[in-house]
């Protein structure tokens, strides 16, 4: 699924096309996502005031509260401006109507598709930060608080692999399996080294490479491996810029050495044995 760049790409599409529109209908065909989807009727008739993001959660703000959407591993949101019959994995439609009198466009359908159903929809009245899903999240990776010193402090005395630390969302949010491998490559750090062995300089490099990787991926519209599309249906193009993820046995783009794959906990990591010494 979507990691932070894919969620951010989705957020921008939603904000651009649906902000100011009024939610006129909710159609939940399959409520059994990661958690049972229960959306209140009271949302109907409310205007979408804005779309923000916290970690990988999309926050659709209405006057009475927020719709909190997570895309899980295989979820995507598309905006349809013409009727399309719902497919097998098209679980939820939110229908928005354009109400500005001078531009009487038709309805827009925000369609949630998710083959694996690991995603989620929640409604939180009032302050969104009080939702239990958002309570224990760490810092945003693109924010100033995510600094070399911050990461270094969190790495101290931890026995887990550095890649696991980077993917620990109580420390820093939004970094999943693709971008963790990519950021570690760019910082020349092997994914399996203990977090406690991270040096101050290494932490500095890793924070910089993480921000760079995420920012470049956002500019490319994210990474599409199989399912992900932006809200206009287009894939992300960052896959072409991946150095190591999914490139086992292929030559490192910098030195030509064969890219290796190793298990880090329950996930696969990819690295160049020469560049990441």
Partner DNA sequence: ATAGTCACCTGAGCGC
Partner DNA sequence: TGCGCTCAGGTGACTA
Binding site residues, DNA, CB under 7 A: 1-3, 6, 32, 34, 55-56, 70, 72-74, 88-89, 115-118, 133, 158-161, 164, 167, 169, 176-178, 195, 222-228, 236, 265-268
Active site residue 8: no
CA gap 246, 95 in Å, rounded: 37
CB nearer to DNA: give 81 or 170.
Answer: 170
Token pair of 139 as six digits: 């810092």
Catalytic residue among 216, 267, 273, 274: 267
CB nearer to DNA: give 108 or 223.
Answer: 223
Catalytic residue among 11, 53, 56, 205: 56
Active site residue 56: yes
Output the smallest distance, CB 35 to DNA, in A: 9
Output the smallest distance, CB 122 to DNA, in A: 11
Active site residue 3: yes
CB 266 within 8 A of CB 253: no
CB nearer to DNA: give 88 or 100.
Answer: 88
Distances (CA, A) of 139 to 26, 76, 172, 215: 33, 24, 5, 16
CA gap 31, 98 in Å, rounded: 26
Output the smallest distance, CB 64 to DNA, in A: 24
Output the smallest distance, CB 253 to DNA, in A: 19
Cβ-based burial of 83 (10 A; exposed 0-12, middle 13-18, buried ≥19): exposed
CB nearer to DNA: give 43 or 272.
Answer: 272
Catalytic residue among 3, 6, 8, 182: 3
CA gap 4, 10 in Å, rounded: 10
CB 138 within 8 A of CB 150: no
Output the smallest distance, CB 3 to DNA, in A: 4
> Among 96, 119, 122, 93, which residue's Cα sits nearest to residue 107?
96
Active site residue 31: no
Partners of 68 in beta bridges? 59, 122
CB nearer to DNA: give 1 or 21.
Answer: 1
CB nearer to DNA: give 96 or 152.
Answer: 152
> Residue 43: how many CB atoms within 10 A of its CB?
18
CA gap 174, 166 in Å, rounded: 9
Output the smallest distance, CB 53 to DNA, in A: 11
Residue 238 CB contacts under 8 Å (≥ 6 apart), including other chains:
5, 216, 217, 220, 221, 222, 223
Q: Name the residues annotated as catalytic.
A: 2-3, 56, 267
């Amino acid at each position: 699924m979507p990691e932070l760049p894919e969620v951010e790409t989705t957020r921008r599409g939603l904000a651009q096309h649906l902000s100011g529109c009024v939610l006129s209908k909710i159609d939940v065909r399959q409520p059994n996502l990661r958690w049972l989807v229960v959306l209140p009727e009271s949302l109907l008739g409310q205007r979408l005031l804005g779309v923000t993001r916290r970690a990988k959660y999309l926050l659709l703000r209405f006057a009475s509260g927020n719709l909190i959407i997570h895309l899980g591993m295989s979820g995507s949101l598309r905006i349809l401006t013409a009727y399309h019959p719902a497919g097998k994995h098209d679980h939820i439609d939110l229908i928005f109507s354009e109400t500005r009198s001078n531009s009487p466009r038709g309805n827009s359908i925000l369609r949630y598709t998710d083959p694996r159903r690991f995603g989620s929809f929640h409604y939180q009245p009032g302050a969104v930060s009080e939702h239990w899903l958002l309570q224990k999240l760490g810092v945003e990776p693109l924010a100033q608080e995510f600094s070399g010193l911050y990461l270094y402090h969190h790495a101290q005395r931890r026995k887990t692999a550095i890649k696991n630390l980077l993917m620990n969302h109580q420390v820093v949010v939004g970094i999943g399996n693709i971008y963790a491998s990519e950021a570690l490559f760019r910082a020349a750090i092997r994914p399996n080294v203990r977090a406690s062995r991270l040096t101050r300089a290494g932490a500095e490099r890793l924070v910089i490479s993480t921000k760079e990787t995420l920012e470049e991926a956002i500019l490319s519209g994210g990474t599409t491996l199989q399912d992900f599309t932006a809200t206009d249906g287009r894939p992300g193009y960052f896959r072409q810029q991946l150095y190591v993820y999914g490139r086992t046995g292929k030559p490192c783009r910098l030195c030509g050495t064969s890219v290796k794959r190793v298990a880090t906990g329950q996930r696969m990591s990819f690295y160049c044995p020469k560049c990441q010494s």
